Amino acid sequence: MLPAFRRPIPTATILCGWLCLALFLFPLASACIGEDGKDWMEQLARREWTQGDQSLKYRILEPARATEPLPVVLFLHGAGERGDDNTKQLVHGVSQFVSKEAQEKHPCYVIVPQCPAGRRWVEVDWSADQHDLPETSSDSLALAVDIVRDLIEQKKADPTRIYITGLSMGGYGTWDAIARYPDLFAAAVPICGGGDPKTAPRFKQLPVWCFHGGRDGVVKPERSREMVKALEQSGGKPKYTEYPEAGHDSWTATYANPELHQWLFEQRLGASKPNP
């Protein structure tokens, strides 16, 4: 008799094992596949925007059956997703806006630009306790805004429902963008970022829902607290959620929250009550 560890495994047992594995993996694979059978990442077309001698790679979800101008979500990724592969920037949070379920409930364009390596959405020190708004926008942020404006000019986007959100480096970019272009956006969701509190009066009427982890060791939670306080002192009514036990990753829970999506898509430019 063969030793136990050398005995052949019955064919039926092998087949049963493969069947169980397939049943386990199929739902996971299905969650990543769109209605037309494509991986959700491939639902976002690869594009590159060029303005003069500057260019920016980006991905865009264009709803196939759009019959009227739709909302736009401009999504700014974090520092770890910089580069030129036009893929890494999709890793965090984007799927929550692109999935079949999300698009059925809130159809919209989703624009996800990729900041080049070594560059930032806003060229400031993330570890600093504070920073002043740079005199000019970073090239990457300016190009991203141009992409949105082009959709509006093509009459594909609803100009009253342009939303911006970003995490970490993208959170900084979100605060910077609404300070520079307060009349473009209908709502903003900055996550674990920071801005220049002195700019708060510029966008005091803008609906803002800010998020941060209470134990964030990368970007101090005080950076978000200061911006929220500055908005309140300016007459704004921002929403603020701080996760007491969360570290730097405060975006996973945020983008998975259906209440956030419901709130975001309810906002319209020029609404009398910024944060109902």
* 22 within domain boundaries: no
* Residues 21, 24, 25, 28, Cα dihedral to 10°: -170
* 82 within domain boundaries: yes
**CA-wise closest residue to 212 among 175, 171, 259:** 171
**Alpha helical stretches, state H, the chain:** 11-31, 95-98, 100-105, 139-153, 169-180, 221-233, 251-255, 258-266
pLDDT digits (tens, 9 = 90+) for 11-28: 444 334 443 333 333 333
pLDDT digits (tens, 9 = 90+) for 94-116: 999 999 999 999 999 999 999 99
pLDDT digits (tens, 9 = 90+) for 144-180: 999 999 999 999 999 999 999 999 999 999 999 999 9
* 237 within domain boundaries: yes
Number of structural domains found in the chain: 1
| The pLDDT of residue 75 is above 50 | yes
* 16 within domain boundaries: no
* 188 within domain boundaries: yes
* 4 within domain boundaries: no
The answer, as to whether pTM is greater than 0.75, is yes
The CATH code of the domain that includes 190 is: 3.40.50.1820
Instruction: Give the residue-averaged pLDDT of 71-77.
Output: 98
* 222 within domain boundaries: yes
pLDDT at 40 (0 to 100): 83
Contact 175, 227 (CB under 8 A): yes
Q: How far is CA 218 from the centre of its chain?
A: 18
Q: Packing angle between helix 139-153 and helix 169-180, nearest 10 degrees?
A: 60
- Structure-model confidence comparison of residues 111 and 36, the more confident one: 111
Structural domain span for residue 177 = 36-266
* 26 within domain boundaries: no
pLDDT at 39 (0 to 100): 85
